[in-house]
Amino acid sequence: MLPAGYDILTPRRLKMNNVDLGNQYKKIIQFFWDPEPKNDDSEQPIWCLGCEYRQAETPCPAQSSGEPADITNRDLASTSTSTTTTSTTTDTTEKRTSTDGPPTPGSAISSFVNLASPISSSMAESSTPAWPPQFLDDFESKLWITYRSQFPPIPKTPKTGSGDSSISLGVRLRSQLIDTQGFTSDTGWGCMIRSGQALLANTLLFIRLGRDWRRGSKLQEESELVSLFADHPRAPFSIHRFVHHGATACGKCPGEWFGPSAASQCIQALVKSNPQVGLRVYITSDGSDIYEKQFKEVACDESGGIQPTLILLGVRLGIDRVTPVYWDSLKALLRFPQSVGIAGGRPSSSHYFIATQGDSFFYLDPHQTRPCLTPRAESTGDEESHPYSPEELSTYHTRRLRRLHIREMDPSMLIGFLVRDEDDWEDLKRQVREGSARGRIIHVFDRDPTIKETEREGAEEEVESFDEI
């Protein structure tokens, strides 16, 4: 704990007080405020969207690094075989005393520098179990979609500037003082949209590039996929398209936070409007119950074969937190080979959860604002010609792990599965059937009992004739 008179130095508070931090100071502040998780449950396997990873054979020295700024300078071609160490932090910090009253921001930062030195030195001499490098490669290869800025304005509605409680005060003030012509950033309100985009983007990535794809290969295909989510009205799955459908069909105005239901409806509608992506979307109207008849009506083509279909299940697994009876079932869902992750799952914000270890979930955090990428012309076929540069593509990836205990998750979430064909569908049903009955989240039934079947023509006459016999 800090002594009386000392305040907690968060990156946001430093920015509010106009304190300019160099890269070294930023890393030191992040070291304390937002430390990277360490592999302190290394006996437990890690499951990342159906793939299992075990503890690395040898420990790696602990070292501190913030959000990896060296990704753009790294040789992308070596990503899949590189062994990367991850930072950790100690469980204790040295106490400080002060008799001079509250410090200025500058002196407080200096104190943090002095404090960090002995801890960093002691950490350099220690070691911690390494994160499996194959898991880090897998994690880094997932598309990470975050807040963006400087994109073409999203028009506001009268509701945006009103006192509607569904729009935060900060968003209303920003719309009145800064984004007067429309929203040019989704910071503060677009996290559920970004999490939904990430779930959809990685679904398409699996279809186009395969589950085993890793960074550094197929840059042209990756660029063209990312371009589908560019922050521009003409991109098929841009935030502009999400907001427009949310306003016209879901009652969500620009600047209003989406929930899992609105996100799933937007995904379904936008995918249906873009059949060229080769995907279908099945969403349930009854929580986590999947009805085979209705699913196949969406998934099957004219010949009766199942085409790649994204199943989206909007669930609520408790009141304020995930009820413990669901813990094991929720963790098991990310072991399914068909899993494409979970969007939502944190109070008043949304993340994209893609892996689990023990009782913790690893996630991609959309709450970082980056300059937008606009759509680019498709490649001409030249190997060196891509819609986006490797540096631009690097903003859609991170090797920086973030972890959350299941007890801290919000119970409202959007769960996704990709079913590619009939074999995938049968395997998904088997996975659900063989799971623990206690706290089971997903159920598969033959048909929706609330939908009345259309009677065959002439059936009523046949019954009357039978009664007369």
Name the residues annotated as catalytic: 191, 365, 367
Residues facing residue 282 across a β-bridge? 311
Q: Is 240 helix (H, G, I), strand (E, B) or coil?
A: helix
Report which of 133, 140, 121 is spatially closest to residue 70, judged by C-alpha positions. 140
How far does Cα 418 stand from its chain's mean position?
16
Sign of the dihedral defined by the CA atoms of residues 196, 202, 205, 206, in that order: negative
**Structure-block tokens of residue 45:** 């396997």
Q: Is 326 helix (H, G, I), strand (E, B) or coil?
A: helix
What one-letter code names the amino acid at 300?
Answer: C
Residue pair 50/341 in contact by the 8 Å Cβ criterion: no
Residues belonging to the chain: 469
**Structure-block tokens of residue 231:** 């922050």
Residue pair 363/352 in contact by the 8 Å Cβ criterion: yes
CA dist 128 → 62, 63, 82 (Å): 6, 10, 18
DSSP H helices in 216-272: 219-227, 239-249, 260-272
